[in-house]
């Protein structure tokens, strides 16, 4: 693991894939976006940098973002847009977990990684780019696999988990840990020209294994790069 540092409820939109390829959208009042401790003040820098989004959810919403810690599992095609936009939005602490190395075949969709990064650990490569996107936030990266043993330490003190993995074995580990801790779990997946996303709130929505009780076999599947970022 490398660490480098340079209450009202929010609403969460749930997107559920239904039979026939249709999607069902519902809105729920989410758990608090950050711990109940006093929210941090916004600096002049914050007020200018995040002005356009503050106009949407107000200064209190931005303070909640600044207080929040989010774990993004995966620094690939899905992990890139998730972590990049969280960083740009001014999340207080971003934790990235990925044990893979950058390969040439990743570069059509994994925009955090460039040709110069081939052979480099994805976690380290992601840290470099995310720090450039927003040097004012705290970023931790874990260049290790997610296991039942390693995950609790990674999740200590977090407010939400983003599932940007490419295999269901790891997704199920994340799902169990979030259910146990009562932490919101944002699941996403892409394949070919389509994708799916849903928000899982422990005790209020179905869990990931409820939705996908059986893991599909591992395979190398096609994907258009732009799909991962939309």
pLDDT at 161 over 90: yes
Helical H runs in the chain? 44-49, 51-67, 79-89, 122-133, 151-155, 168-181, 208-211, 225-228
User: Which CATH number is 69's domain given?
Assistant: 3.40.50.720
Are 65 and 42 contacting, i.e. CB atoms less than 8 angstroms apart? Answer: no
> 12 lies in a domain?
no
> 117 lies in a domain?
yes
Are 185 and 152 contacting, i.e. CB atoms less than 8 angstroms apart? Answer: no
> 91 lies in a domain?
yes
> 168 lies in a domain?
yes
**How far is the C-alpha of 90 from the C-alpha of 39, rounded, in Å?**
14
Average pLDDT over residues 49-71: 98
Percent of the chain with pLDDT strictly greater than 70: 84
Q: What is the pLDDT of residue 37?
A: 64
**How far is the C-alpha of 220 from the C-alpha of 222, rounded, in Å?**
7
Q: What is the pLDDT of residue 11?
A: 40
> 165 lies in a domain?
yes
> 15 lies in a domain?
no
> 198 lies in a domain?
yes
Under DSSP, is residue 65 helix (H, G, I), strand (E, B) or coil?
helix
Range of the domain at 66: 54-228
**How far is the C-alpha of 65 from the C-alpha of 57, rounded, in Å?**
11
> 41 lies in a domain?
no
Please tell me the total count of domains within the chain.
1
Q: What is the pLDDT of residue 222?
A: 81
Per-residue pLDDT of 90-131, as tens digits, reads: 999 999 999 999 999 999 999 999 999 999 999 999 999 999
Q: What is the pLDDT of residue 103?
A: 97
Average pLDDT over residues 124-142: 97
Q: What is the pLDDT of residue 99?
A: 97
Per-residue pLDDT of 18-56, as tens digits, reads: 434 443 444 444 444 445 569 999 999 999 999 999 999
């Amino acid at each position: 693991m490398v660490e480098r540092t340079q209450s009202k409820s929010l609403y969460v939109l749930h997107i559920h894939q239904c039979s026939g390829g249709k999607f069902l959208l519902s809105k729920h009042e989410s758990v608090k976006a950050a711990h109940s401790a006093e929210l941090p003040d916004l600096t002049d820098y914050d007020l200018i940098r995040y002005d356009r989004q503050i106009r949407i959810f107000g200064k209190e919403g931005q303070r909640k973002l600044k207080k929040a810690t989010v774990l993004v599992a995966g620094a690939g095609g899905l992990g890139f847009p998730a972590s990049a936009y969280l960083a740009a939005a001014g999340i207080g602490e971003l934790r990235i977990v990925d044990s893979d190395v950058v390969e040439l075949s990743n570069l059509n969709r994994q925009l955090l990684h460039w040709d110069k990064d081939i052979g480099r650990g994805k976690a380290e490569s992601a840290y470099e780019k995310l720090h450039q996107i927003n040097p004012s936030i705290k970023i931790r990266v874990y260049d290790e696999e997610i296991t039942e043993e390693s995950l609790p330490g990674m999740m200590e003190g977090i407010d939400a988990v983003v599932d940007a993995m490419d295999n269901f074995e790891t997704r199920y580990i994340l799902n169990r840990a979030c259910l146990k801790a009562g932490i919101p779990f944002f699941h996403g997946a892409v394949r070919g020209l389509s994708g799916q996303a849903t928000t899982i709130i422990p005790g209020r929505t179905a869990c990931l294994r409820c939705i996908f009780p059986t893991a599909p076999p591992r395979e190398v599947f096609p994907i258009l790069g732009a799909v991962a970022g939309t």
